[in-house]
């Protein structure tokens, strides 16, 4: 998959050279291109923002440089889905990450300042928010989206690994343990040391359900409805 990112802070994406995402890029599963929005300006100051019509605090990202950057990115992948990272957008979750991982490509626009000219939204296919809180810039949100989507691309993780992650079926992951088997008087559940894979699988399913019901009742309602068809109050 090719993902293009339009940003005024290209250096913010150095973490995408590391770990799973870095290996996915090296292996050719992910083609990541970073576009500096200032390269698409026409003035000598490389200005990408201006004062808001009607007054108010803060600056607004201008539409013209963004439109030019989108045209450049679309030249290579005309079928890519254009996404504005915005607090007004659809809340990002695992289900949406899975849908995006099946797209022909993605173009992410990172906002900054007080916000973006509303006409930029008209150039996009959708808006996405990673949560109901305020960030200084959209680069952080873009990192989240790229990471979550890349993990789901075929070949990036061992077969079946992504299906075991938290949220894959509206359940949290089960507890994990490793050596030593006893640490400061606290031991590992005996079933995990038994070698009985059937019992281990049953324990993992049960504890995943118990953790979800206790820690994320909102997810538990979705899981229970998916499993039984009933709607919990």
Residues recognised as catalytic? 87, 114, 151, 165
User: Which candidate, 150, 149, 5, 141, places its Cα nearest to that of 86?
Assistant: 141
Alpha helices, DSSP H, located in the chain: 19-27, 63-76, 94-100, 118-121, 139-150, 197-215, 217-228
Q: 3-state class of 105 per DSSP?
A: strand
Contact 34, 5 (CB under 8 A): yes
Give the Cα separation of 48 and 63 in Å (integer). 9
CA pair distance 67, 120, nearest whole angstrom: 7
């Amino acid at each position: 998959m090719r993902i293009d990112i339009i940003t005024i802070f290209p250096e913010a994406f150095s973490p995408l050279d590391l770990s799973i995402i870095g290996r996915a890029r090296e292996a050719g599963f992910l083609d990541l291109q970073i576009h500096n929005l200032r390269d698409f300006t026409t003035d000598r100051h490389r200005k990408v923002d201006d004062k808001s019509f009607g007054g108010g605090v803060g600056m607004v990202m201008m539409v013209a440089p963004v439109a030019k950057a989108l045209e450049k990115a679309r030249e290579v992948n005309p079928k890519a889905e254009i996404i504005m990272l915005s607090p007004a957008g659809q809340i990002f979750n695992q289900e949406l990450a899975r849908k995006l991982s099946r797209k022909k490509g993605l173009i992410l626009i990172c906002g900054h300042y007080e916000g973006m000219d509303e006409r930029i939204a008209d150039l996009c296919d959708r808006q996405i928010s990673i949560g109901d809180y305020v960030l200084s810039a959209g680069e952080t949100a873009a990192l989240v989206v790229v990471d979550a989507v890349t993990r789901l691309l075929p070949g990036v993780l061992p077969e079946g690994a992504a299906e075991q992650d938290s949220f894959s079926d509206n359940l949290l992951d089960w507890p994990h343990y490793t050596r030593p088997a006893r640490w400061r008087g606290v031991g590992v559940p005996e079933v995990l040391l038994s070698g009985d894979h059937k019992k281990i699988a049953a324990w993992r399913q049960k504890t995943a359900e118990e953790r979800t019901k206790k820690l994320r009742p909102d997810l538990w309602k979705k899981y229970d409805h998916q499993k039984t068809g009933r709607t919990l109050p």
